[in-house]
Each structure stands twice: as structure tokens, then as C-alpha cells.
Amino acid sequence: MRGAAARDGANATPAPPARIAKRAAPQMMRQYELVERVKKYNPSTNEDLLNRAYVYAMKAHGEQKRASGDPYFSHPLEVAAILTGLNVDDATIVAALLHDTIEDTEATRAEIDRMFGGDIGALVEGLTKLKRLDLVSREAKQAENLRKLLLAIAADVRVLLIKLADRLHNMRTLDYVPPEARRRAAEETADIYAPLAGRIGMHEMREELEGLAFPQLNPEACAVISERLATLAARDRDLIAEIERQLTRKLSDRGIATFVEGRRKQPYSVWRKMERKALGFEQLSDIVGFRVVVPTLAECYQALGVVHTTWPVVPGRFKDYISTPKQNDYRSIHTTVIGPGNQRVELQIRTQEMHEIAEYGIAAHANYKDGADASPDTLSRESKAYAWLRHTIEHLADGSNPEEFLEHTKLELFHDQVFCFTPKGTLIALPRGATPIDFAYAVHTDIGNHTVGCKINGKIAPLLSELENGDEVEILTSKALLAPPAAWESLVVSGKARAAIRRATRAAVRNQYAGLGRRIVERLCGRAKREYSDERLTGALPRLARASIEDVFAAVGRGEIKASDTVRAMYPDFKEERATLAAAGLPEGRWQGLKRARAVKVKVPALSDAAPAIPIRGINSDLPVRFAPEGGAVPGDRIVGILSPGEGITIYPIHSPALMAFEDAPERWLDLRWDIDDKTPQRFPAQVLIESVNEPGTLAQIAQVIAENDANIDNIRMTRLSPDFTSLTINLEVYDIKHLTAIIAQLRAKPFVANATRHNG
């Protein structure tokens, strides 16, 4: 990592740090050259260790060639050379030399451990892709390898430094690989590795990775923007030099030693801003930025005062990332003024140390000086960026399938950030475009799951409000909310929120199915006069190939396992013929009575031998239920349920003609009863068919009858029967059968209504 840097109290004139190593030499680096590079920043380096790693890697790769035709060993050697520019420790250099040996040669982890130690072996293992993945999609394989890499990074940040250097050299030599592979590598670089470098503060690494990926992803846009930037550079060369001179002189007159550097935005950065803000090239005002590097922290603010008293300030363009650093440890003062020639001038004012961290991020935190290595633990205490990375990996790696993991990782890494505060002043960094829902999940998953409202800067605000820098957000919660709405998943922008909502939704649905499955199994055991117990079902789990009783119940509720098979697993002597009717959840008398009712249109007889039916309160119950799509069902109806695999229970009135479709599947029938809470009444779906006179105002009068009876119209379909009559199919929401009957009676009494009946599909 970086060498000695000027601290905030230093008096030396600042200078920019050395850039990441780029080698143009056509010949492969010699062994002694690599050692000399390391010795420049670490005189006490272990030369023997470096030499042994060089020889081992060269022999291991043998005659292997790269796509360019160069010896393969040239690649790990160049990766190590890039890392010498970051002043990393010996173990990181050695791991860079060996990083492809386990994956691409006969070398093994055990051999690496024996020859170079377990620390280096762990680094190399962390950089080795998973082999023989039994996954169909390329995205799934990519995600699983990324998951393995991120977990290794969480254990040791040096894995990340090596991986970024590895990716950088591969991108520098991308022209030698086939076009399709080039594009895939560029997409992966732009989506994951460049944002990852930015999130840990390695700005120079990010810029070069983006610059190498851009011409592969959008060659036309890259060419146009590069040409425009070159034209501007030629036109404004003298102006940039003049601004640098004036800034340096103004600060020097106040006794502030400074280094001023004008830098033009990179093509990819310009294009991304144009895309994000829907701007034309001419509308961009910050294509050129000036970095003002001063010796001390106090002089940052002195320099700011000089600038603001010399040139007019552009309102709304001031940000103090020194008092409130970014999560990647970035610190600078940003301001924009109208400078010489009425030119907008964007300034970044920082110390030398801040400049090092701004360019090299994590790699600037630890000093490898005099052979004293900084451990990953020490680094994690120094770097908020590394702490953020570990925290991000924890929730990304938890429970998502490969495709979701890849999606959430891209969401977390790619977005720019806004900074908001809790009422107690805790800083919360979020992706740009984040909502209070994202904020709630950033504070804690439980808070997000129980969020019902929010206040922004002390005022009640919608949960979908877009947060801005500096907002104070207070989250209002309620334990009565069992799970967040599933629709939130498509509305949030942070990977953590999206993953948490998806997990909570799945858990809620699973709990509903498990509750239904438990009731079905317990009722079946009761009907079969067999005792149910969790202990007995636990003993039967191997026969059902499930890991827990909750897994069994959820599978029964989803229709994946028959309830009769579950009982038979507990009681092998359970009779199949009895199970056929009992598994339906209907007593035999009710099942036969129902079949007679279908045939002769008579009322189903009352049942005296029925086991307790499953209680149904409504769609917001703890069971996965829905109502018949045509006609619905309301309290007061005799009801039955049809169990559909993966969909839960569909509730039908017992006189619904639609039930005829399920007469040959008794195992899908469930005996249900209403369980209505009078203290919290709710409406239920029903459907009414009306034949009315085709006159102006008829529909309004029908709607008035329904409204006066405190019912709700959910949907209306109208069909012209003749020039004088119209048929209306109205989906209503009513409290019960008595409520529905009263509405139909009042509609029939109207002179413009020829007929009104309830419809059951």
C-alpha cells in the first residue's frame, strides 16, 4: 500500500502521488527487476521469498501461452508489477505471482501452503475460481464465483487488491481475445470491478478500468466523446494553465504552499453523467476540475476562504466531504466558482494524505515501511471503506440465489450516493434515488420490515419520496405489520433493501403455506383417529426427504406432498382408501352429499360427523387464500376450498358450478368455515348481474344504490343486449350474504332494472 505520505501537520509542498504502474517494455520483467521494484519502498523485503515465488510460478505455467502469444507467466508478473505501484507487502506480491497456479496448473493449495505458508495459500485460494460448477446459466456461474471472491475479500482485503490488478492487466491486453469475450469482460468490468474499485476509494484504478471497458461497450459514444474532449482540450489549453497560475498565486500570497492540477473528466465519466441526467455535452459544466492540494487540514479551509473571496460562488455547488467523509474514506472540499474568463471552475481542496486516499483508497491506508506489514485487522480499523465492504458482503451473501446475488451486488456497487441522517445524527449513506424504505433497511432489517411511514426533515412524507443529501429521516414502524408489501421490492434501489424484502416476502408466504399444511395434517390425523405430534413427524422426516417439520408443512400447504403421505410416514399402517376421502379435508358424508347436489341441484345436507373445518377470516389471514375469480364468496355462504399446487386455497361457495371441474380430484378439497371478527369487519368479493334499461343516468343510479349500502364497486363490465337494454356484470365487495341480498333487492325495486341476480361462476 502507499508509502509515507505527508500528514495533515506536514509543511512540505504537496505533490501528487505516483500513478499505478504501466509497463510499455516488450520484454518480460526479469527476476531482479521485480525485487528492485519492491526494495524501493520496502528495503527489508524478503528477497528469497520473492525469488522462490518467481521461479515456482514460471515453472508451474511452463509453456502455457496467452491469447497474445506471450508466455502466460508474463501475466502474473505484470499483475505483481502493478501492485508494486501500490507499495503492498511481500505476501501480496507473492500471491500475485501465484494467483493462477491452483486454477490453471497442477499446483495445489497444500503445496502452496507448504512452500510459501498458509497466509499466502489463503490469498491464492481466494483468487481461484470455482471449478466444475453444475449451473446452467453463465450468470449463475459468474455470480457464484463473485460470491466466493467477495467472501475471500471480506476475510483479507489483499485479495481485492490482487484481483483488481489482475483485472486491470487483462483489460489492458483485451484486444487479443475474441470479440464476444471482449464484450463480456468489459461488461463485467463496468458493472462490478470498476464500481468496486470506486467504492473502496481506488479512483485511479476505477478510471482506468472504465476507460478500457468503454470502447468495447459503446465504441461509437466513446469515439464521439473522446473527440469532443480532445477539441476542448486544444481550445482551452491556455485557459487551464492560466487558472492553475492564478490559483497558485492567490494561495501563495496568503502563505499557503499548494499544488494545483487541472484535470479533464474521462470519456466514460462524461457519458455516464449525460446518461444519468439526460444532458447534452454542451450542458455539462464540470468537464474540467482543479485539484488544490495543501499541506494541512486547516489550510483546506483557508484556501476555501481565499477562493470564495476572489471569485463568485455558484450556488448549490458546495460540499464538505472533510467534515462528512464518504463511505469509501474520500475527503475533500468541493466548490464551484466563476473564475477567469467567466469560466465555471470546479475545485477539490484536500491535503496530501487526502489526495493519496482519493486516488488509492484502501491501498493508501497501510504503510509497508521498514518491513512492518499492516494486518487486515489493522486495515479494517483504519478504513471505513473496508468496513463498508464487509458489511455489504454480509447481507449480499445471505440466502439469495445466484442471479439475485449478482443483481444486488451491482445495485450496491454502481450507484452514486446520498448522505442522510437519523434523528440522533447518525450518518446513513444510500444509493442515489433512494427512498425512506431504503433508509429504513439501511438502519436495520427489522425496522425496514415494520415500516409504515416516515418523516423527512420533521414533516410527514410519502415512503416513495426521493431522498436528498442532508435529509433527516425518521422512520415510523408498527409491529402489526407482519411483512413488507411485496411491491416494495420493485420500488427500492438498494441491494440490501431489495434482498430483505424478498426474504421477508418469501418467509411470510412460506409461513402461510406451513400454517395451512399443519392444519391439514392435524385434521387428517384427527379424522383417522391417529395422534399427531411434532416428535412423531420429526422421526418421519427421512421418509419424507425434508429437513424440518416446517418444510413438510409448507410442502403440504403448497400441494407438493399429499397429507395422506405425511400421515403414512408417521403411521405406516395408515389405509390408503380411507386417506382418499379424508385427505380431501371433507367428511365422506359431505363429499357424497356435494356430488348429489351437483347432480340434482339440492342443498347439501347438514353434516354431523365433520371434523372441525379450517377457519377462514379473509385474504389478510395467516393462510394463503384467494376467492373464486368468477363470483367470489361471502360470509353466510357454505364454502369449500380447492388446494392448487403453489397457489394455496381457492374459496368457492358450495353451489358454484365451477366446482364440477374438480369432482374427480377429491384430494384437493378442503372443508372450510367462516371465522369473522365482528370488531374488524371487512368486505368480501361477490358478483352481480343486472339487466337495465339503456337510458342516461342509469349507471349512476345503480352506483348510488351500491354506495348508499356501504358496498364497494371493484369492476364493471357492460354489454349491449339490444337498443333498449344493457347487461352489467358488477364485481362488488360486501360484508356478508345478508348485505349482498339487501343490495340485490333494492336494485330489483328500481324501475330501470329489469332483473338483478347474484352470479356464481
3-class secondary structure, 461:
strand
- Euclidean distance between CA atoms 679 and 719, whole angstroms: 39
**Partners of residue 637 on adjacent β-strands:** 635
Residue 321 to residue 323: CA distance in whole angstroms: 6
Residue 324 phi/psi, 5-degree rounding, is: -130, 85
Question: What's the Cα-to-Cα distance from 410 to each of 289, 392, 472, 654, rounded to whole Å?
Answer: 28, 12, 27, 51
In the annotation, is 134 catalytic?
Answer: no
Distance CA 447, CA 422 (A): 13
Q: How far is CA 497 from CA 402, 411, 440, 489, 490, in A?
A: 17, 10, 8, 8, 10
The verdict on whether 275 is a catalytic residue reads no
How are beta strands 288-294 and 344-351 bridged, if at all?
parallel
| Interatomic CA distance for residues 614 and 594, integer angstroms | 18
Distance CA 139, CA 127 (A): 19
List the beta bridge partners of residue 718.
728
What burial class does residue 366 get, using C-beta atoms within 10 Å of its C-beta: 0-12 exposed, 13-18 middle, 19+ buried?
buried
With residues binned 3-state (H G I as helix, E B as strand, rest as coil), the percentages for the chain, rounded to 5, are 50, 15, 35
> What is the DSSP secondary structure assignment for residue 632, as one 8-state letter?
B
Give CA separation, 494 vs 192, 196, 422, 441, 680, in Å.
15, 15, 18, 9, 36
Half-sphere exposure at residue 124, Cβ-oriented, CA atoms within 13 angstroms: 31
Q: Tell me how far CA of residue 420 lies from CA of 424, 427, 466, 472, 533, in angstroms.
A: 11, 6, 11, 6, 51
Measure Cα distances from 703 to 333, 694, 697, 712, 714 in Å.
63, 15, 10, 9, 11
- The whole-angstrom separation of Cα 12 and Cα 35 is 30
DSSP string, 156-181: -THHHHHHHHHHHHHHHTGGGS-HHH
- Per DSSP, the residues of 346-357 read EEEEEEHHHHHH
DSSP letter at 635 equals B
One-letter amino acid at 626 equals R
Q: Check if the beta carbon of residue 714 is closer than 8 Å to that of residue 731.
A: yes
> Do 714 and 732 form a contact (C-beta atoms < 8 A)?
yes
Catalytic-role residue among 103, 111, 382, 550: 103
Catalytic entry in 33, 47, 104, 111: 104
Strand boundaries in 321-407, DSSP class E: 333-338, 344-351
Residue 637 is placed in which grid cell? 355462504
The DSSP-derived string for 290-323 is EEEEESSHHHHHHHHHHHHHHSPBPTT--EETTT
Grid cell listed for 691: 339487466
Comparing C-alpha atoms, which of 759, 734, 738 is closest to residue 684? 734
Q: Which three cell numbers stand for residue 100?
A: 493462477
| Catalytic machinery residues | 103-104
